[in-house]
Amino acid sequence: MANHFQEVLMKDIFTKNSPVSGNLIKAKDIELKGYSKITLETDENEDVKIYLKKDADDSVKEIKFVCSCGHTKSIILDYSE
């Protein structure tokens, strides 16, 4: 598997419970939940892309498998306990 781009720190946001019309989210309606890094790895033999979402401390939070046929499976990890 090869890593195709550098890890970039991105903002994770949460939209507050408010009536939203359309695709527009106003700044007052969001809450910053933290930062994450997203990497992409591919397996050339199986045509599967693997997206790893990590927090700012490099702990893996989500693993998403995307098949070339369009099917996806996700594993979300919770370290709260």
Chain-centroid distance of CA 52 in Å reads: 7
pLDDT bin (cut points 50, 70, 90) of residue 4 is low
Residues 14/72/57/17 CA torsion (nearest 10 deg) = 10
Q: Encode pLDDT of 20-52 as tens digits.
A: 666 777 777 778 777 888 877 777 667 888 888
Dihedral sign (CA 2, 34, 27, 23): positive
* First-residue to last-residue Cα distance in the chain: 31
Predicted model pTM: 0.57
CB contact set of 63 (below 8 Å; sequence gap of 6+): 50, 51, 52, 53, 74, 75, 77
Q: Where are the domains of the chain?
A: 2-76
